[in-house]
């Protein structure tokens, strides 16, 4: 199959490229310098030339805090840009996998949030992704898999796992991590494999929650990272959201349910702790290689 990946230099885009190429898929991967998804004419031209079977739209404004001061730009990318991709996918009759987020919910739930729950974002980033959801599903409902994910980490880029490891290596001092926000750490390789399963399964289009199973908090996630890397987890100090005065509101509970997978006779992704244990060796190796290069 012919894949087109947008946002190719992000965590998910890089993971998807490596996985798909390694299993013999035909992949065209474009980063933001090669394809501005807000440029409708360019998007349509790329789709006419590539004629992809499947599109993985990983292009997005992802910086939560900066979206607060740049909401119009976040809406342009995550809303209008996503719509352009959906319209182009409809034109070429490509299957579209569009990535969204747990931040489309307000955090008031007390149990895992199902796919058909009402969205109600509480920050600019969430509003921009919610706008993208509406526009994509309106433009191409019959061909879109809308996959919400959360707390992604990988060997690539700037993510929580790498930050915690780096912080623990830089100093022996204790440090604080917020402990009242509940969610699901998601390893990008597991997510890419789940997406591959989904688009090849014959399952109906619609909304799916692409997260590793189980739930935790940032505090307990950080403790587990230190445990698995041989560091002292008691170096991490619990704080709540109000104490750290984050500049942007975050949902306190954004654990996503997985009913749609069961309805489609598909297995859910494995528990987040199992995924973390498998991911850490390659994450640590990548970090060592980067530090070695920087030393010269």
Over residues 60-69, the pLDDT tens digits come to 999 999 999 9
In this structure, is residue 51 part of a structural domain?
yes
Q: From CA 125, how far away is CA 122, in angstroms rounded?
A: 9
Answer yes or no: is 13 within a domain.
yes
pTM here is 0.96
Percent of the chain with pLDDT over 90: 91
Residue 296 within a domain: no
Kindly report, residue by residue over 218-275, the tens digit of the pLDDT: 999 999 999 999 999 999 999 998 887 777 899 999 999 999 999 999 999 999 999 9
- Domain containing 259 — which CATH number? 3.40.50.720
Tell me which residue range forms the domain holding 40. Answer: 2-158+186-212+255-270
Q: Is residue 123 part of a domain?
A: yes
Q: Report yes or no on 217 lying in a domain.
A: no
> Per the domain annotation, does 75 fall within a domain?
yes
Q: What is the mean pLDDT of residues 15-27?
A: 97
Q: Is residue 282 part of a domain?
A: no
Active site residues: 125
The whole-number average pLDDT for the span 271-286 is 97
Beta-strand relationship, 152-153 and 186-187: parallel
If one counts the domains in the chain, the total is 1
CA distance 94 to 143: 7
Nearest CA to 234 out of 274, 276, 180, 175 is that of 175
Neighbours of 157 (CB within 10 A): 16
Task: Please indicate, yes or no, if residue 49 is contained in any of the structural domains.
Answer: yes
């Amino acid at each position: 199959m012919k894949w087109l990946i947008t946002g190719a230099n992000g965590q998910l885009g890089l993971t998807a490229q490596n996985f798909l190429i390694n299993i013999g898929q035909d992949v065209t991967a474009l980063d933001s310098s090669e394809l501005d998804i807000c440029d409708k004419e360019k998007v349509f031209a790329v789709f006419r030339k590539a004629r992809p079977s499947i599109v993985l739209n990983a292009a997005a404004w992802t910086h939560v805090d900066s979206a607060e001061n740049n909401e119009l730009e976040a809406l342009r990318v995550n809303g209008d840009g996503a719509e352009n991709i959906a319209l182009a996918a409809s034109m070429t009759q490509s299957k579209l996998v569009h990535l969204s987020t747990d931040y489309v919910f307000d955090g008031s739930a007390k149990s895992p949030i199902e796919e058909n729950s009402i969205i109600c974002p509480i920050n600019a980033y969430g509003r921009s992704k919610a706008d993208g959801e509406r526009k994509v599903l309106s433009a191409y409902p019959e061909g879109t898999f809308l996959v919400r994910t959360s707390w992604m980490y990988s060997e690539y880029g700037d993510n929580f796992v790498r930050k915690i490891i780096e912080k623990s290596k830089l100093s022996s001092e204790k440090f604080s991590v917020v402990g009242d926000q509940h969610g699901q750490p998601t390893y990008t390789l597991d997510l890419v494999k789940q997406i591959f399963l989904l688009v090849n399964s014959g399952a109906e289009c619609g909304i799916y929650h692409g997260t590793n199973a189980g739930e935790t908090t940032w505090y307990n996630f950080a403790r587990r990272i230190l445990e698995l890397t041989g560091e002292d987890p008691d170096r991490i100090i619990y704080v709540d959201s109000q104490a750290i005065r984050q500049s942007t509101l975050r949902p306190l509970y954004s654990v996503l349910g997985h009913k749609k997978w069961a309805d489609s006779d598909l297995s859910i992704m494995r528990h987040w702790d199992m995924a973390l244990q498998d991911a850490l060796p390659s994450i640590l190796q990548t970090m060592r290689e980067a530090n070695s290069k920087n030393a010269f």
